[in-house]
A and B are shown apart, each in its own frame.
Chain A
Amino acid sequence: MPVSDIQIFLVLPVVVLPLISFLFIFAGKKLNTENLALFHISVSFLLSLYLFSAIWDKQTFHIQWSWFSVGGTEFKAGILLNNLSVLMMVLVSGIATLVHVYSRVYMKGDPNIHKYWAYLGLFCFSMLSLVISDSLLLIYLFWELVGFSSYLLIGFWYTRDSAARASKKAFIMNRIGDLGFLTGIMIIYQQFHTLDLTLLFAENGFMQTSFIQNAMWVSDTSGMPEIWLTIAGAVFFLGAMAKSAQFPLHTWLPDAMEGPTSVSSLIHAATMVAAGVFLIARIYPVFNPQVLNMMVITGTITAFMAATIALTQNDIKRILAYSTISQLGFMIMALGIGAYSESIFHLSTHAFFKCLLFLAAGAVIHEMHHHRDKLGLDFDFQDIRRMGGLRKRMPLACISMCIASAALIGLPLTSGFLSKDAMLIKTFEWASEQVGILKIVPYLMLLSSALTAFYISRLIFKVFFAKPDVISSPVISAAKDAPKQMTYVLLILAFLSTFLPFSLNPLSYEVSWLWSGFRSVESTQAGFYHQLIPVIVNAISMLLIILAYLMYVNGKYSRLASGEGLLFRVSSGEWYLNQFYSFTFVKSVEKLAELSWRIDRYVIDSIVLSTAAVVRNISDFSRWTDKNIVDGAVNGSGAMVSKAGSIFRMLQSGRLQHYLLSILLILLTFLILTFFI
C-alpha cells in the first residue's frame, strides 16, 4: 500500500502525540498524565507499525515544506521515511511504549511524576522526529533536543547533587559532539549550499557527484581543499562519538545512570545512544576511507576499554552502562569496516536486550531499595556485592535477565548471536584485506566479546546465584518478583531478545529480514569464517561463563577477584579518565576562565581606570586654576567692593551730630564749588 500525501496525517501524529504529553506539563499535577502519556505513545507505536509495514522494503516516502529562507537560500523541513527511519521509528516507539508501561509501577508515588511523563514525552517526540527528519539542520535540532530531554531526565531527582552534576556533564560532553556536528553542517553547507538529505546523499546526490581533483574537493557549486572532506567526516563522527558515548567522550554515560532506571533503559541503552550510529548511517556517503578507519579504531578501543572496565564495577547500572558503551563500540567499528547492515542489525537487537537488562536490573533495584528503606538498613542498594541469591526470590526477573545476557554474549538461539556474529565475521573478512595495525582489530573484538561474556556472567551470578551478603540478607529474603505490569514488560522483551522476531533460522543471520533490508550488494564471500567464527566465539564464551561461575558462585580463584594488582585498579578506576579530564580539561578551562577574569579585572580595567585617573588629575588641576586664578580675579573684585563698602560704612556712625556735620561739610563744599570755582 503506497503512502500517499494524505497519509502524512499518519506520520505526523507519531511525533506529535508524545509532544502533547510534554505539553501536559503545563497542566501541572492536576491531570492524570500517566494514562494520557501511555495512550499517546501506544497510538504512536501502532501508527509506526503501520507505516513500517507500508514502507519497509517497498518504497521511500519524502515530503517537504518550506520552513524559512535566509537571503536567497530556502530551508525546507520535511519527512523522509525509508527502511532506516521506519525501523528506528518502530524501535523507539515500541521500546518507549514498554518503558511507559514499566514506569507506571516503577515510578509510582514520585512527587514529580507529572514531570517525568512530560520529559519522557519530550524525549519520544525529539527522538522520533530525529529519525524522520530529512535535513541536517532538522536532525541537528532534534539531536540537541534529545540531549536536552536526556539532561532533564538524568537530573530528574535534581535534589541529589550527583544527579545534578551528572546531567550537566552529560549535556556538556554532548555539546562537544554537537560542535562537531555543527562544523560538519557548516562544511556541507559551504560546499553544496543545501542541507537536504536526499539531495545530498541519495543515489547520484551531490555527495556522490562531487569528486577530488588536484587536491580539491569539487562540487557543482563550489570547491574546497581536499582536507575538508576528511574534516567533515571527522567532525560528524565527533558528533556521533559524543552521543554514542565513544572513547574518549564516553564518560558521561556511566554518570548518566543517576537518572531513573527506566530512563536509563530507554534513553541510555536502547535509543538515544544509538542516535550516533543512526547519524553515521544516515550520512554514510560523507565518510572517506580515512574517517572510516578512524571509526574502526575508535570503535575497537571503545569496545575493548568499556569491556575491561565493566569487569570490575560493582554498581549494577554502571556495569550495564559500560556494557552499552562496549556494544556501541562494536556498532561503530562495524560501520567503519563497511558492515552497514550488520551494524544496524546489531543496533536493533541490542536495543531490545539491553533495554531488558536495564529493566530487569531496575526491578531488582526497586525491590532492594524498597525493602532496604522499609527495614531501615543502610547500604548501597545498587551494589551487586550486596545482592545474591535473588534467583529464588525473583525467578521471572532472573530468567529474563539470563536470556538478555545470553543475547549480549551472543549465545545461539538469541538475537545477539545473529547480529554479533555477523559483525565479527565481517570484521575478519575485512581485516584479511588490510595491512599493518588494522590486522589486530578482529582479534581485539574477539577479546572484547570474550570479556563481555565474563562480566555479564559475573553480574548474573553475583546478583542471582551467589550467597546473599550478611548486611543485606534480610532485604534479600523479603524481595519478591516485581508487580505484574513490570514483569509482563520483561517477558515481552525477553521474547524480543530471542532469534524468533528476526530470523527463521536461529543460526544464520543471512536469512534475517532485518539484515537483508539494508544489504546493498549480495554478499558473495560465504567464506570459511561463517562457520568458524560462531564456533570460536561460543566456545570461548562458554569457558568464561564457567570460570565466572566458579569464581563468583563457588568462590574459587578468590585472589583473581580480590581487587589487587595494577590492572584491576585501572579497570575499577575506569581507566582514570574522569580524573584525567578533570585534571586537564576542566581544570584548565577553569584556570583559563580565572585568568581571563583577572585580565579583565587587572589589565583592561586598570587601563580604563588609569585613563580615568589621568582625566581626574587633569580635572583636579583645572579645578585648582579655576579656584586660584579665574575665581581669584572674580573674588578679588568682589573683595575690593566689599572693602570699600566697609570703609564707607564707617561714615554711618548713627550719631546725629556726625550727620549734621557731614551735611554742613557737603553744603559748604557745594557752596565753595558753586561760588568760588
Chain B
Amino acid sequence: MIPLSHFLFISACLFCIGLYAVLTKRNAIQVLIGIEFMINAAVLNFVAFGRFDANGGGGQMFALFAIVLAAAGVAVALAIILNVYKHFKTIDPVKTDTLKD
C-alpha cells in the first residue's frame, strides 16, 4: 500500500511544475499546459483522498467532474488564445500587456 503522503508529494510536484510553467512560459499554450498540470495535481489529490475516504467514492466523482470541467476550460482557453492571436498577432503573454491601462 502506497501511503497517502507519496501521492500528495507527487501532486505537489506536479502543481509546482504547473505553477512554474504558468508564471514563466512565453507561450500561452505552454501556460495552458501549466494550468492543466495544476488541475491534474488537484485531480490527483482528489483521487488519492478518495481512496482513503471510508464512505463511498466522493473523491472519484469530484475528480471526474474536475476533468470534465478542465476539458471544457481548455476548450474555452484555446478559443481565447486563438482570439488573442488574432488580435495581437502573438500569444506571448509578456507582449499582451494591455491590461495595464
Do A and B touch each other in the complex, judged by CB within 8 A? yes
A654 touches B98 (CB 8 A): yes
> C-beta contact mask, A323-345 vs B, less than 8 Å → 1, else 0?
00000000000000000000000
Q: When the two chains form their complex, are residues A660 and B23 in contact, meaning their CB atoms are under 8 A apart?
A: yes
Candidates B23, B24, B31, B97; contact of A654 at CB < 8 Å: B97
Q: Which of A619-677 contact B (CB under 8 A)?
A: 652-657, 659-661, 664
Query: Is the pair A656, B93 in contact by a Cβ cutoff of 8 Å?
Result: yes
Q: Is the CB of A653 within 8 A of B22?
A: no
The answer for the CA separation of A656 and B22 in the assembled complex, in Å, is 10
Whether B19 contacts A656 by the Cβ 8 Å rule is no
**Looking at the complex, which one of A656, A661, A664 makes contact with B99 (CB distance below 8 Å)?**
A656
- Residues of B participating in the A interface, judged by any CB pair closer than 8 Å: 19, 22-24, 31, 93-94, 96-101
> Residues of A contacting B23 with CB < 8 Å?
657, 660-661, 664
Residues in B with CB closer than 8 Å to A652 are 99-100
Structural contact, A653 and B100, CB atoms closer than 8 A = yes
Cα-based distance from A661 to B94 in the complex (angstroms): 13
Indicate if the CB atoms of A664 and B101 lie closer than 8 Å: no
Q: Are B22 and A657 in contact (CB under 8 A)?
A: yes
3 closest residue pairs by CB, A with B: A654-B100, A654-B97, A654-B99
C-alpha gap A93/B15 in the complex (Å): 136
Cα of A652 to Cα of B98 in the assembled complex, Å: 10
Chain A residues near B100 (CB-CB < 8 A)? 652-655
8 Å CB contact of A655 from B22, B97, B101:
B97
Q: List 20 A-B contacts (CB under 8 A).
A: A652-B99, A653-B97, A654-B99, A655-B93, A655-B94, A655-B96, A655-B97, A655-B100, A656-B93, A656-B99, A657-B22, A657-B23, A657-B24, A657-B31, A657-B93, A657-B94, A659-B99, A660-B22, A661-B23, A664-B23
From 182 to 211 in chain A, residues with beta carbon under 8 angstroms from any chain B beta carbon are none
A-B contact sample (4 more), CB < 8 A, given A655-B99, A660-B22: A654-B98, A655-B96, A655-B100, A659-B99
By beta carbon, the residue of chain A nearest B100 is A654
B19 contacts A664, C-beta separation under 8 Å: yes
Is B22 a contact partner of A654 (Cβ separation < 8 A)? no
- Specify which chain A residues have a CB less than 8 angstroms from the CB of B19 in the assembled complex: 664
A11 and B22 alpha carbons, distance in the complex (Å): 127
Give A415 to B64 CA distance when docked, in angstroms.
156
A659: chain B residues within 8 A (beta carbon): 99
- Cα(A661)–Cα(B24), bound, Å: 10
Complex Cα gap A661–B22 (Å): 9
Nearest chain A CB to B73 CB, angstrom units: 16
Q: Compute how far the CA of A657 lies from the CA of B96 in the bound complex, rounded to whole angstroms.
A: 11
A521 to B101, CA, bound (A): 124
Provide the residues of chain A in CB contact with B96, threshold 8 Å.
655-656
Residue of A nearest to B31 (CB): A657
Residues in chain A near residue B24, CB distance under 8 A: 657
In Å, the complex CA distance between A653 and B24 comes to: 15
**Chain A residue contacts of B99, Cβ below 8 A:** 652, 654-656, 659
Question: What distance in Å separates the Cβ of B99 from its nearest Cβ neighbour in chain A?
Answer: 4
A653 to B97, CA, bound (A): 7
- List, in ascending order, chain A residues with CB within 8 A of B31's CB: 657
A667 to chain B, nearest CB (A): 11
Interchain CA distance A656-B24 in the complex, whole Å: 11
Find chain B residues with CB under 8 A from A655 CB: 93-94, 96-97, 99-100
Smallest beta-carbon distance A492→chain B, Å: 114
Closest to B22 in A: A660
**Which residues does chain B contribute within 8 Å of A661, judged by CB atoms?**
23
> Could you tell me the distance between the alpha carbons of A652 and B94 in the complex, rounded to whole angstroms?
13
Complexed CA–CA distance, A652 and B97 (Å):
10
Q: Output the least CB separation between B41 and chain A (Å).
A: 15
